[in-house]
């Protein structure tokens, strides 16, 4: 069974600084997809970034980037130049190539302080 | 606008009173699913559907029912709600072969 682990229940960062959120996963599959979702106080689930396992290059989206270590089954999210609007719960998620079932970690609550 | 809608957004009910949470998507997606979100547990899948008339259990299906009579709709039914079903519920959809799910706005359910 696939599992996703986020070991940091809560984190905080000063505005304009950089923060990294950790995620590890467990799977025996070779083809899969990894995601980071953001959930602000509005509760809406917003896709931040995605990574295909077959791609060696780490995905980036503006201030958001990932460090994908396939051998270590690690998928961390780096947020650069943190902004107050980045305050949210962040979920790491995993999906295999076999179907559309998505597995989520428990989440990390990030607070950006002014 | 492409979206997944859920209704109601908030619901307070009593133990044993049947309820239905509706979910609809306008993107012609084949795949739809229901999740519940609880503190410290993330999102857990309740049921999913690969297409019309095709549904299957997720990780936590007990106490829930679903149906998929039309491609756009995927209602979640609680025949006899209990307090342990108090949670935040999300409906999601995705196109077949596309590895990204679109989420509805969530339904906050409280069962007293």
Which residue, B88, B66, B91, B90, is CA-closest to B76? Answer: B66
pLDDT of amino acid B1:
83
Angle at CA of residue A43, ends A62 and B56, nearest 5°: 100
Per-residue pLDDT at B91 exceeds 80:
yes
Report the pLDDT averaged over residues B11-20: 97
- pLDDT on residue B4: 97
Give me the percent of chain A exceeding a pLDDT of 70: 98
**For residue A54, what is the DSSP state?**
T
**In this predicted model, what pLDDT tens digit does every residue of A54-73 receive, in sequence order?**
888 999 999 999 999 999 99
Q: How confident is the model at residue A44 (pLDDT cuts 50, 70, 90)?
A: very high
Which residues share a beta bridge with B37?
B43, B88
Mutate to test the interface with B, among A3, A9, A100, A102 (most CBs of B within 10 A): A100
Question: Which A-chain residues 49-78 have CB contacts (< 8 A) with chain B?
Answer: 50, 52
Of B42, B58, B99, the CB nearest to A105: B42
Instruction: Please tell me if residue B41 touches chain A, with a CB cutoff of 8 Å.
Output: yes
C-alpha B84: how far from its chain's center? Answer: 16
Q: Which residues of B touch A42 (CB under 8 A)?
A: 105
Burial (CB count <10 Å: 0-12, 13-18, 19+), residue B54: exposed
Mean of the pLDDT values across residues A76-80? Answer: 98
Average pLDDT over residues B83-88: 98
> Cα separations (Å) of B37 from A41, A85, A99?
14, 22, 21
The segment with the largest mean pLDDT, out of A50-64, B48-62, B66-80, B87-101, is B66-80
């Amino acid at each position: 069974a696939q599992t996703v682990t986020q070991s940091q229940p809560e984190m905080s960062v000063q505005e304009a600084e950089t923060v990294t959120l950790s995620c590890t996963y467990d799977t025996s599959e070779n083809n899969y997809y990894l995601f980071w979702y953001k959930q602000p106080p509005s509760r809406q689930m917003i896709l931040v970034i995605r990574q295909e396992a077959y791609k060696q290059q780490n995905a980036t989206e503006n201030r958001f980037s990932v460090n994908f270590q396939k051998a270590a089954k690690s998928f961390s999210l780096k947020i650069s130049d943190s902004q107050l609007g980045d305050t949210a719960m962040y979920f790491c998620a995993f999906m295999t190539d076999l179907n559309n079932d998505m597995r989520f970690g428990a989440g990390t609550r990030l607070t950006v302080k002014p | 606008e492409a979206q997944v809608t859920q209704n109601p957004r908030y619901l307070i009910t009593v133990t044993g009173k049947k309820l239905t949470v509706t979910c609809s998507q306008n993107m012609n997606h084949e795949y739809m699913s229901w999740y519940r979100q609880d503190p410290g547990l993330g999102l857990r899948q309740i049921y999913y559907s690969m297409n019309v008339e095709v549904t299957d259990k997720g990780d936590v299906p007990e106490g829930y029912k679903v149906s998929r009579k039309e491609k756009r709709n995927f209602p979640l039914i609680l025949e006899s709600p209990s307090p342990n079903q108090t949670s935040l519920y999300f409906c999601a959809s995705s196109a077949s072969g596309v590895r990204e799910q679109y989420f509805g706005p969530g339904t906050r359910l409280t069962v007293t």
